[in-house]
A and B are shown apart, each in its own frame.
Chain A
Amino acid sequence: MTESIHLLVGPYVLDALDADEVALFEAHLEECEDCRREVAELAETTASLAYAESGADVSDLRDSVMSAIGTVPQLPPANVVGLKRRDLTRRISWLATAAAVLVAVVLAGNLWSHHQTITAMNKHSDEVMSLVTAQDAKIMPLGIPGADSTVVISMERDEAMVMGSEVPTPDKGMVYQVWAYDDAGNPSPSGTWAPDATGHAAAPIDADLHDTRMLSVTVEPAGGSAAPTSPPLTMVELA
């Protein structure tokens, strides 16, 4: 630890570093317990500075926050989300099967039209191929209740898809809709989809992935909604 980087504790807790310096200092924090302790302490002191002013009446702000949380999904604790080994193996097996079937099908030509289980993927076979062959493809559990569902994402290609089997058929006139949340927690509609007769589903997610922090899925009237009208069935944080 150099003396000079330690001095950045003050500017750091006051948010008075520029982005480069923040990155530098946070890398240092990972290694320096003294600095971590000092940051925690001085952050408490800094929080007190928020009280140098009397506050304003913010009852309407409180009301608007309370009504907004109805549409903001909550992340599960950190150790629940993400790619646990166990999950990964299980999910990969379904995807690997799907991909293997797909490859076989592509090789075997028209044999695939008879392959009932992949009708859903059929529609999106190009996207599926592009995604599963991407170097950085990531497979994450999607967690739709009752279904085996995954999200496959490639940041490099800026593409993502929902895939699932045993997906419950939504009520008549309803579809699943994917939502992409930005940093501020605002949801954007990112595509509607429904499973086929065998419960399989594959649908592209239409979102700017680089600005997306979380995905959720709700059930919406056919055609989709502009904003979620029902609580999320599930949500996934994009690391």
Chain B
Amino acid sequence: MPRRADDQDLLNAAARGDERAYEQLLERYASAAYGLAVRVVRDPEMARDVTQEAFLHVWSQAARFDASRGSVRSWIFTLVHRRSVDRIRSEQASADRIHRVGPAEFERPHDHVIADVERRFEIRRVRSALEDLTGLQREAIELAYYRGYTHTQVAAALDIPVGTAKTRLRDGLIRLRDALGVDS
């Protein structure tokens, strides 16, 4: 990704209190971040909260970002994803959401018009890489990432041993990595 160094520059500037630089990061990633959150938590209001929390964390922790652990982009999405998953797990604890939604149906939120061609291209690439996985790898990854299942829940939902679920998640990601190319 050519914009990677760029992101790091923006984050460095944001860490020094540059709100314009921060806003550019927000423009780049807020939409995708929100899309991810809404896909995981389903509830648009909750997704907004989660996304906002994650971005405020980026603002307050910008100076602490450790580039040796990954890119800015992956940091942002990890923050959003982790918070989303935490929300639904705490909901699951009270009202068993898995049963309300059911693992087999796979709803996609309505597509919105996006002006960003680069992003549209990225979407196509990711979807096609997902299509290239084995059925089990794809299902396992989608349940874990988009639905917030733990690997044990993935195993139960797909009726496979826990060890197999772990392996499929890792194999699937490695295959995706090879298809998408490592960001560097």
Contacts and interface: CB of A to CB of B under 8 A. Distances in A.
Interface residues of B, number: 83
A15 B60 contact: no
A10 B64 contact: no
Contact of A74 (B23, B34, B63): B63
Nearest to B29: A50
Given A44-B182, A46-B173, A54 B144 contact: no
A184 interface: yes
A92 interface: no
B42 interface: no
A32 interface: no
A45 B180 CA distance: 7
Nearest to B69: A40
Interface stretch (A62-70, A116-124, A172-180, A201-209): A62-70
Interface in A126-145: none
Interface in B69-125: 69-71, 73-74, 77-78, 80-82, 85, 108-109, 111-114, 119-120, 122-123, 125
A57 interface: yes
Contact of B35 (A9, A15, A54): A54
B154 A16 contact: yes
A61 B184 CA distance: 30
A15 B112 contact: no
Interface string A160-190: 0000000000000000000001001100000
* Band of interface residues on A: 35 or more
A53 B19 contact: no
A69 B55 CA distance: 9
Contacts of B32: 50-51, 53, 55
A164 B150 CA distance: 49
Contacts, number: 207
Contacts of B70: 40, 43-44, 47
B105 to A, nearest CB: 16
A77 interface: yes
A6 B5 CA distance: 30
A13 B174 CA distance: 12
Given A14-B173, A41-B177, A54 B48 contact: no
B15 A72 contact: no
B183 A10 contact: no
B30 A65 contact: yes
A18 interface: yes
B144 A14 contact: yes
B166 A72 contact: no
A30 B176 CA distance: 26
A10 B172 CA distance: 8
Which residue, of A55, A64, A68, has the highest number of chain B Cβ atoms within 10 A?
Answer: A55
Contacts of B41: none
Nearest to A65: B55
Nearest to B154: A16
Contacts of A109: none
A203 to B, nearest CB: 24
17 contacts: A4-B163, A10-B169, A10-B173, A17-B150, A43-B78, A44-B183, A45-B182, A47-B78, A50-B80, A50-B81, A51-B123, A52-B123, A61-B48, A64-B52, A66-B26, A185-B60, A214-B60
Given A47-B78, A69-B22, 14 more contacts: A11-B166, A14-B141, A40-B70, A49-B130, A49-B146, A51-B119, A52-B146, A62-B23, A65-B26, A69-B19, A74-B60, A74-B62, A78-B64, A185-B53
